[in-house]
Chain A
Amino acid sequence: MLRYLAKRLLMMIPLLLGITLISFVVIHLAPGEPTDLQVELNPEASVELKERLRAQYDLDKPLLVQYGLWLKRLAVLDFGDSFSQDRRPVLEKIAERLPITILINVLSIGLILLVATPIGILSAVRQNSLFDRITTVFVFIGFATPSFWLALLLMDYLGVRLGLFPISGIQSLWHEYYGWGGQLWDRLHHLMLPVFVSAFGGLAGFSRYMRSNMLEVVRQDYILTARAKGLSERVVIYKHALRNALLPVITILGLSVPSLIGGSVIFETIFAIPGMGKLFFDSVMMRDYPVIMGVLVMGAVLTLVGNLIADISYALADPRIRNT
């Protein structure tokens, strides 16, 4: 097992290098440079000035040299400084925005699981019942509702007209003047609408997925056996069937690990949440190469680690994999 693990870890290095090289080349292939956006169309800036700026960012060097410089810094875990005018370290910018994105994603995945699992089970158990039909309609509405539209609707009705929820941001302006209980409530209060909206679309998909898994499992022979043994329907469904139906779900959760840091641009823009999605989008628009690379590397590492964990779990479960 240790040998297997060491082999997998070693294989990750060239893979990661390949990913970063391709990303580096591709983002530099996109037309436009950070310096263009700073001086272009500025009547006070001359062409010579732009060249000077390019030299300061090393943009005048060949692409592979730039990649080499970037790699050299990465070797000591230095992601470099942002090319945007604030010139702040990339890691600092990411660290500032990562927690809120992870928090919202974790909460919304939690909410999805909490609500969608029972809905999925119930509609599978009572297939074609009124409940099943209603949830089917609900699910399709959920699929079809654009999240930005739902967000604006809720903000207008619950935020402006009724004043029940804060409209945007992640804390109120007077946050620091509250006690710790007040601060906690303030944060939660601000998170409710965003988490609901972000969970809404996923709710529909996940409950469908749960339903079809469950339907598949209850058709299996061992469920028939369990029923034949005279076990109560409760035990059959919740003990024997549910466990097996949940297994593929856990795989899906594993796959959603990289998306934890991705975030969503539209959603973060509307709710004015300073998250990773917005950071990534803005840095792509600004051609802020170090930040783009920083986010991509983190995503790549997370994906690779996610895969590794999945593989290890499979290997633990199935000895045949270890030997291949």
Chain B
Amino acid sequence: MHLVFIALFLALLIGCQRDDGLPIDADEVTEPAYGDTIIQGSIGEPSTLIPALASDSASSDINGLVYSGLVRYDKNLEIEGELAESWEISDDGLTLTFHLRRGVTWHDGAPFTSADVMFTYELMVDPNTPTAYADRYLQVVAAEAPDPYTFRVHYAEPLASALISWGLAIHPRHLLEGQDVTRSPLARAPIGTGPFRFVQWVSGQRLILEANPDYFEGRPYVNRVIYRIIPDSATMFLELQAGNLDQMGLTPIQYARQTETATFQRRFNKFRYPASSYVYLGYNLRRPLFEDRRVRQALTYAINRQEIVDGVLLGLGQVAHGPYKPGTWPYNANVRQYPYDPQRALELLAEAGWRDTTGDGLLDKDGRTLSFTILTNQGNDQRIKAGEIIQRRLSEIGIDVRLRVIEWASFLKEFVTPGNFDAIIMGWTIPPDPDAFAVWHSSRTRPGELNFIGFENAEVDGLLERGRHTLDQDERKRYYHRFQEILAEEQPYTFLFVPDALPVVARRFRGIEPAPAGIGHNFIRWYVPEGEQRHQW
């Protein structure tokens, strides 16, 4: 009798197996249709929806859909107009004049004019605005709005990133003027001019946007965007598999090992392209140990970076040779490279005076063994694993390396900012504009500044200064190519890898075009064919 019940119960359970969804042929030609909801997973909760104040990625994702700037990057990372229909740059490169679109309205119906742009500029340079983005706007010497559809700024010297700096989100003057921006209700309920309007934000749970029917480039096809806040990546992946999410970013192991099933491929499209970031091992050049260039070159030779890409990223990335993204215009592919060659590393170290004279298996010089500590931050598995692989490879040629993992805030305050480290594993994002002044110029080596490894090179200084004040792209390219050659020769960092971005989207969404800018550039053109729409809302 009991067995019968158990059998019945099991039959019931098996009967509950989820429907795996209809097979969909993504190449099938379909008509774009309005409707449906896309549900995206987000690890973090946005902090504030006032773009000037936000500096986290969850907030920028949402702000990017709600607000627009005067210009933006297109799918090939070229600058195109958004709220600006056109612009002129004066011959001396000092004045920028934007001609704004007419007929654009804010989500509350108010008209958008140059007064909003002027207000946004004033907001950014106001010392009472707690924004992290003021610097580029503080270089403006004068701004004017001669008529409702013209906005003009003057600079004291040409600034290469001046144009793209106006990609900043334009804030509504009629709602923010004369108020304390940090206490504005817009922080929780934004009003912009972008393709999506804000609907609802339930703290810690979800944020809902809906298509803006009056968007100046046409109403987005997808009716609603829901961000679900799921702080754990394993949980998010389970929600995706259960069909409760349509889009998320995968980890390498999820991409390579857990999504290869036929069921998954029938329901989702996986994408893969280089992310705009790189991870590096940076040496503190103020420490005597790293003063000798040959030592730094030897370390790069002794680290098998392909092994790190294969082991840590499961092959989903590439070895980095410099600070720019492979395939973009500033990237120089012809710099000196350092294939894994421990023998060559030992030769270089011997030239620099490091030999194993005591026979203990460790290299030494003047009675001091070759040892140092690598620091990295807690919470980033890829960096910690890369550190472990580096540690092993270096110990094979007689270098004693310790690895310490430190909580993020302490890591910054106690070690990075005061320059209190031998070597660190960290990462930088790669912005589309190649201006690397803040990270590599010798004037940026004070505590708290970004050249915390203390890299100083007169030629690099000159190249970076010219690069940021030159508007001609070919000329800039020459400067930045030379800059990369010097970095490759000097090896102040061992550039480790550029990971791949691994987004996954439910197959019913069509019109996705992977491009150098990723997959989000034409989000308003994504659609679900009528027969496949899942949500009424």
Contact = CB atoms under 8 A, between A and B. Distances in A.
B206 A173 contact: yes
Given A155-B238, A173-B39, A44 B226 contact: no
B179 to A, nearest CB: 13
Contacts of B241: 160
B130 A53 contact: yes
Contacts of A170: 205
B182 A87 contact: yes
A153 to B, nearest CB: 11
A167 B242 contact: yes
Interface in A274-318: 274, 278, 285-287
Interface in A26-85: 30-33, 36-47, 49-50, 52-53, 56, 84-85
Interface in B132-173: 132-136
Interface in A106-135: none
Contacts of A87: 48, 182-183, 187
Given A37-B412, A87-B183, A162 B134 contact: no
A68 B234 CA distance: 44
Contact of A45 (B135, B205, B231, B537): B135
Interface string A137-159: 00000000000000010011001
B132 A38 contact: yes
B232 interface: yes
B55 A272 contact: no
A271 interface: yes
A174 B412 CA distance: 42
B448 A50 contact: yes
Contacts of B203: 93, 96-97, 274
B262 interface: no
Interface stretch (B11-19, B209-217, B512-520): B11-19
Interface in B4-60: 13, 16-18, 39, 47-48, 53-56, 59
Contact of A269 (B136, B232, B242, B537): B232
B413 A163 contact: no
B409 A285 contact: yes
Nearest to A35: B130
B417 interface: yes
A169 interface: yes
Interface residues of B, number: 58
A46 B135 contact: yes
A52 B133 contact: no
Contacts of A152: 234-235, 238
A238 B528 CA distance: 64
A28 to B, nearest CB: 12
Contact of B230 (A39, A84, A161, A272): A272
B140 to A, nearest CB: 14
Interface string A165-181: 00111110110000000
B226 A272 contact: no
Interface in A251-278: 269-274, 278
B512 to A, nearest CB: 23
Interface residues of B, dominant DSSP: loop
Interface residues of A, number: 55
B130 to A, nearest CB: 5
Nearest to B235: A168
A263 B292 CA distance: 53
Nearest to A155: B238
B449 interface: yes
Contacts of A50: 448
A84 B407 CA distance: 18
A87 to B, nearest CB: 5
Contact of A42 (B55, B128, B187, B238): B55
Given A47-B449, A49-B135, A168 B16 contact: no
A164 B16 contact: yes
B450 interface: yes
B451 to A, nearest CB: 11
B12 to A, nearest CB: 10
B176 to A, nearest CB: 14
A85 B54 contact: yes
Nearest to A268: B231
B196 to A, nearest CB: 17
B372 interface: no
B132 A49 contact: yes
B204 interface: yes
A189 B47 CA distance: 29
A244 to B, nearest CB: 39
A271 B235 contact: yes
B205 A169 contact: yes
A173 B17 CA distance: 22
A31 B238 contact: no
B239 interface: yes
Contact of A85 (B13, B48, B439): B48
A38 B53 CA distance: 9
Contacts of B449: 47
Contact of B130 (A56, A88, A163): A56
A221 interface: no
Nearest to B161: A44
B256 interface: no
Contacts of A43: 431, 438-439, 450
Contacts of B39: 173
Nearest to B134: A49
Most A Cβ at <10 Å: residue of B238, B410, B416: B238
B127 interface: yes
A31 B235 contact: no
Contacts of A161: 17-18
Contacts of A39: 55, 132
B188 interface: yes
A86 interface: yes
A163 B13 CA distance: 10
Q: Which 6 A-B pairs rank lowest in CB-CB distance, beginning with the nearest? A: A274-B204, A32-B409, A85-B47, A43-B438, A31-B413, A32-B413
Interface of B: 13, 16-18, 39, 47-48, 53-56, 59, 127-128, 130, 132-136, 182-183, 187-188, 203-206, 226, 228-232, 234-235, 238-239, 241-242, 244, 407-410, 412-414, 416-417, 431, 438-439, 446, 448-450, 537
30 contacts: A32-B409, A32-B412, A37-B408, A37-B409, A38-B55, A38-B130, A39-B132, A40-B448, A41-B450, A43-B438, A47-B448, A47-B449, A49-B134, A53-B130, A85-B54, A85-B59, A86-B47, A152-B234, A160-B238, A161-B18, A163-B18, A167-B238, A167-B239, A168-B230, A168-B238, A174-B537, A269-B232, A273-B204, A274-B203, A278-B204
Given A85-B48, A162-B16, 14 more contacts: A30-B409, A37-B412, A41-B450, A44-B133, A44-B135, A47-B449, A49-B134, A52-B130, A53-B130, A85-B56, A156-B238, A169-B205, A272-B229, A287-B409
